[in-house]
């Protein structure tokens, strides 16, 4: 049996007294540690307190709008400064002023930049070179004189050597010589209507024959224009219309469509068989041969 078991009362009292002594010792140690911490803090504040005070003072006075801080503050001034900062209320902004006349100022418009849409690329067509127009194909319009509107004393004569077997003539002594179209178409004439498929310059060929110097000319007019005095060859042949003392040949600019050709008698005895109207102005052009069926 242990001692505590033998003397239960004494052992219990010893344990209680020993525990209370241990608790008192721990409290004393805590108090000593706290005292040392306080002393250390006071020593640190004593060493760096003025520096911290100057930094804090400079910061406070910059916030209050002062440029140059005050000298080092005493403890009382330091506390007063802290109190002033804590209780400082910033001034309220002044109310908006109303301009003279009571008009309310319109707000300043704000600029809002709206991003533009990505521009749609445009198609640029590069024009090609102007194409060279294709040449107009050769045009030949053949007119049989006897198929036109014939006014007497011009008349037609059957001849196996003529185109379509007929030619036109004003017989000698039936018409005068040196007839002028300004005197009217009393000497006889033929009107031939025709059309061309394309606008172009044209010349007129005639199958003609002038048997003598007194029987070798006609008057020619197209679409009511000026008259051309056409001197013809002295043998049966193709001859282009010319104008005595003027154009040789006469070139007629004809539009697409219908036109009218008038051939008037100037001298009796002059013969005309067939007419070709063509846009072939080359010197090598020769009308096709004629025949009587």
Q: Is 28 helix (H, G, I), strand (E, B) or coil?
A: helix
What's the half-sphere exposure (Cβ side, CA atoms, 13 Å) at 229? 12
Helix spans in the chain (H): 3-6, 8-63, 75-87
DSSP strand pairing (155-158 vs 237-240): unpaired
pLDDT (tens digit, 9 = 90+) per residue, 9-67? 444 454 555 555 666 777 888 888 988 888 787 677 666 666 776 776 667 667 666 65
* Whole-angstrom distance, CA of residue 147 vs CA of residue 139: 20
Beta strands, E only, 58-176: 140-144, 149-151, 155-158, 166-169
Tell whether domain 140-278 is in CATH 2.60.120.260. yes
pLDDT for 182 equals 74
* Whole-angstrom distance, CA of residue 15 vs CA of residue 129: 125
Phi, psi of 118 (to 5 degrees): -60, 120
* Whole-angstrom distance, CA of residue 254 vs CA of residue 202: 7
Does the global pTM surpass 0.85?
A: no
Whether the upstream peptide bond of residue 249 has omega within 30° of 0, thus cis, is yes
pLDDT (tens digit, 9 = 90+) per residue, 139-167? 999 999 999 999 999 999 999 999 999 99
Which band of pLDDT confidence, cut at 50, 70 and 90, is reported for residue 7?
A: very low
Is 249 exposed, middle or buried, given 0-12, 13-18 or 19+ CB atoms closer than 10 A?
middle
Token pair, residue 131, equals 């194409």
Q: Identify which has the larger pLDDT, 257 or 131.
A: 257
The CA–CA distances, whole Å, from 12 to 22, 24, 25 equal 16, 19, 21
pLDDT (tens digit, 9 = 90+) per residue, 63-107? 666 655 556 656 676 667 656 656 667 667 666 665 555 555 556
Task: Break the chain into its structural domains and give their ranges.
Answer: 3-86, 140-278
Average pLDDT, the chain: 79
Q: Identify which has the larger pLDDT, 126 or 95.
A: 95
pLDDT over 50 (residue 8): no
Which band of pLDDT confidence, cut at 50, 70 and 90, is reported for residue 257?
A: very high
């Amino acid at each position: 049996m242990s001692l505590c078991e033998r003397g239960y009362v004494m052992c219990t009292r010893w344990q209680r007294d020993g525990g209370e002594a241990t608790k008192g010792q721990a409290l004393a140690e805590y108090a000593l540690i706290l005292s040392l911490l306080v002393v250390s803090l006071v020593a640190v504040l004593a060493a760096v307190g003025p520096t911290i005070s100057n930094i804090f003072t400079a910061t406070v006075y910059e916030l209050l709008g002062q440029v140059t801080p005050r000298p080092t503050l005493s403890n009382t001034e330091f506390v007063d400064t802290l109190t002033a900062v804590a209780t400082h209320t910033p001034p309220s902004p002044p109310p908006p002023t109303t301009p003279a006349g009571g008009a309310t100022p319109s707000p300043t418009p704000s600029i809002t930049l709206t991003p533009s849409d990505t521009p749609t690329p445009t198609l640029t067509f590069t024009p090609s070179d102007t194409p060279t127009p294709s040449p107009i194909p050769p045009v030949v319009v053949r007119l049989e004189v006897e198929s036109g509107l014939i006014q007497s004393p011009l008349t037609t004569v059957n001849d196996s050597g003529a185109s379509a077997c007929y030619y036109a003539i004003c017989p000698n002594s039936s018409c005068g010589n040196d007839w002028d179209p300004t005197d009217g178409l009393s000497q006889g004439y033929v009107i031939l209507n025709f059309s061309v498929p394309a606008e172009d310059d044209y010349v007129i060929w005639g199958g003609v024959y002038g048997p003598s110097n007194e029987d070798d000319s006609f008057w020619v007019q197209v679409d009511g224009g000026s008259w051309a005095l056409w001197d013809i060859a002295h043998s049966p042949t193709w001859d282009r219309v010319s104008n005595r003392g003027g154009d040789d040949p006469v070139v007629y600019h004809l539009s697409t469509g219908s036109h009218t050709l008038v051939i008037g008698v100037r001298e009796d005895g002059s013969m005309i068989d067939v007419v070709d109207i063509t846009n072939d102005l080359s010197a090598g052009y020769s009308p096709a041969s004629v025949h009587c069926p």
